[in-house]
Structure 1
């Protein structure tokens, strides 16, 4: 049964990840307790947990502040993700999957096919893909049956989500990263990774996942640099 503290942790975490509590926001115990309808004790415990997850920074005499996530934080997270998710894929391929595990991955792939059957790529399709993409990567952690990977990977995946939450979906940067073509490529990567795991090809599954994560890392970095350079040129021309 989920405790009050666990519910509070989950709610505050989601608000941070979704950008409701942005970088630099000061989280006050009393305000949070009133907002969530709980006492200050679970709030205090939740803030400590979220600080341990590196989502908050504690300052003596000031309290808890939502940490800022820069591009370098996200790129570093991608580096670690590539290694650990590659390991998860190799472990799954070498140990094998039960029928339920195989069915879960095949269902995710089929849902991806459904998203891309339509040429439309609006907010609904983008949201559906982001949710399915997260489902795929979390399914890897579940299927690996490695209790050490799960908490590490969940924490690492926080940083890109926080970074994305700061962006306007209509911004040049967001549109460069989240094009239909780029997301379709990611879907095809998922298909090939699942095929390798189901064939028991551990080394290939690991390599494909590393390449998949690295490609998305470089896409993010390249788009950010392009938009930053464009902004500098416009400032100089003004």
Structure 2
């Protein structure tokens, strides 16, 4: 997981504001902040090792993207989203990632991408091999899950798919970083989907891979939205429990 104590090394075309925006976005998506939390600029500037000017630019950009809200005389807060927003964003994400699977299969995934997907599936198998959800294993499972989805999106060969999927992540709970780590049966089912998706892609079966991925994402969205409607506090606690433990 990204180390947010300092910004990564920049390239000539990347500004401090760009790096700050990327780091803060990852912190939000990974649950370092909860919906409604206020962002304290002095603390953020110290954590990221940047001055206030690029930080303000970064925050303004994230507000434009819809991740945070600006309140005059009060500063920035993590945006709150309605459950209907989450359901609708998951529908968009499901269709986009399903399309990514079909394009990746039809274009012929590289051997390295196919091998990487299988390695990630095996990593998930190892994490779940004890048939219990160890909280210390959640970060590793999350990293595996993110890389699994990103590998397929990149293999699709269409940069717009990745751009729009990442835009859907601006509804933070829709991000593939969110894992409800409290029901082994649910996690096991989800990881079984990874097996089937990887197999369909390896077989070049784009339609099956598309349908499997769409259902995989829709199921995750329905589960999360239903949990939020039934008990928002508990759902947020389970979605970000390893992050809450660090706070």
TM-score range, shorter chain: 0.7 to 0.9
- Deviation, 1:160, is 4.6
Rounded to whole Å, the distance in 1 between the matches of 2:125 and 2:67 is 34
1:87 to 99, 120, 132: 99
Q: Give the 3-state SS of the residue equivalent to 1:148 in structure 2.
A: helix
Query: Can you give the 5+ residue segments of structure 2 that lack an aligned partner in the other structure?
Result: 1-10, 233-247
The equivalences for 1:200-219 within 5 A come to: 200-219=204-223
Whether the 8 Å CA contact 1:69–1:162 is kept in 2: the answer is no
Rounded to whole Å, the distance in 2 between the matches of 1:152 and 1:18 is 19
1:151 to 154, 159, 163: 163
- What residue in structure 2 maps to residue 185 of structure 1? 189
Greater helix percent: which structure? 1
Rounded to whole Å, the distance in 2 between the matches of 1:9 and 1:51 is 10
**Are 2:139 and 1:135 aligned?**
no
Whether the 8 Å CA contact 1:23–1:66 is kept in 2: the answer is yes
Rounded to whole Å, the distance in 1 between the matches of 2:131 and 2:40 is 46
Rounded to whole Å, the distance in 1 between the matches of 2:41 and 2:137 is 38
Q: Residues 127 and 158 (structure 1 numbering): CA distance in 2 closer, same or farther, change over 3 Å?
A: farther
- Deviation, 1:101, is 1.0
TM-score, normalised to structure 2, is 0.76
Q: Residues 225 and 163 (structure 1 numbering): CA distance in 2 closer, same or farther, change over 3 Å?
A: farther
Cα deviation per residue 1:33-55 (whole Å; 9 max; x = unaligned)? 35533222211221122123211
- What residue in structure 2 maps to residue 37 of structure 1? 49
- What residue in structure 2 maps to residue 234 of structure 1? none
Q: Count how many residue pairs are aligned between Structure 1 and Structure 2.
A: 220
Query: Can you give the 5+ residue segments of structure 1 that lack an aligned partner in the other structure?
Result: 229-238
- Deviation, 1:201, is 1.3
- What residue in structure 2 maps to residue 23 of structure 1? 35
Whether the 8 Å CA contact 1:51–1:57 is kept in 2: the answer is yes
- Deviation, 1:78, is 0.9
Q: Give the 3-state SS of the residue equivalent to 1:117 in structure 2.
A: coil
Greater alpha carbon shift after TM alignment, 31-40 vs 207-216: 31-40
TM-score, normalised to structure 1, is 0.79
- What residue in structure 2 maps to residue 195 of structure 1? 199
Q: Give the 3-state SS of the residue equivalent to 1:51 in structure 2.
A: helix
Larger Rg: 1
Whether the 8 Å CA contact 1:18–1:162 is kept in 2: the answer is no
Q: Residues 46 and 184 (structure 1 numbering): CA distance in 2 closer, same or farther, change over 3 Å?
A: same
